[in-house]
Amino acid sequence: QVQLVESGGGLVQAGGSLRLSCAASGRTFSRSAMGWFRQAPGKERELVTTIGWSGDTYYADSVNGRFTISRDNAKNTVYLHMNSLNPEGTPVYYCASGHQFYGDLYNVRYDYWGQGTQVTVSA
């Protein structure tokens, strides 16, 4: 059983920065792909960014250049650094762990999720 615990959400002003953390346990973290998703009220959950077990990354166009995903395998933790935040409602950010098939960052099956942490960006 894999457990993912997010932290770091909260209230930030537009244009500000925030760092989310996700601590993982129960799986070989270093061999897992990790992703951050977000879901705003009334909207579908969307993939924000992914980091593969080798450290390669993917970003959604909406956050590319503003967000950075990183991982610390010694601490079994993945981070999401968010800069230049826009007031986009109050999305909940979810951390997810998955299996990366054939080493392909675009072929990840996420099978464990954290409980989510809310980010509120005020105008």
pLDDT digits (tens, 9 = 90+) for 46-60: 999 999 999 999 999
pLDDT at 27: 75
pLDDT at 1: 81
Q: List phi, psi (to 5°) of 104.
A: -95, 120
Low-confidence spans in the chain with pLDDT less than 50 = none
**Hey, what are 81's tokens?**
């650094």
End-to-end CA distance of the chain: 40
